[in-house]
Amino acid sequence: MTTVLTYGTFDLFHYGHVRLLRRLRDMADVLIVGVSTDGFNAAKGKSSYFPYEVRCEMLMSCRYVDTIIPEVSWDQKRADIKRHDVDIFAMGSDWAGKFDDLSDLCRVVYLPRTEDISSTMIKANLFRERAFQPGAARIA
């Protein structure tokens, strides 16, 4: 059984996310997704439109995802790989080389991003149209 682990914020869930998750699932029997918490995003100087719980809810509705874990710090990855017996650690190619130090624990791969789509791009386009307010969605 092959377990793949990836991390991300997954704000404004879009087709690029779906394609990434599908490619990851094609490599895995089990796909674990670490989702950046609101607190961790704040520490990184980022904010999400949707709160952590809603982003997790959207991801869990995706048939490719088996398990979600909270990402609360940069340095938790090594422990998560061991705890979940991960075979492959995978990230988008924008992170190429940043996690090579984990290759002593598992295979590390960087997948190409889907062109012409990202949450950052969507936010920028919406902000230009004055329709976007970071952190605006507070869904009960």
Catalytic residue ranges: 44, 46
> What one-character-per-residue DSSP string does the chain give?
--EEEEEE---S--HHHHHHHHHHHHT-SEEEEEEE-HHHHHHTT---SS-HHHHHHHHHTSTT--EEEEE--GGGHHHHHHHTT-SEEEEEGGGTTTTGGGGGTSEEEEEPPPTT--HHHHHHHHHHTT---TT-----
Hey, what are 4's tokens?
């793949």
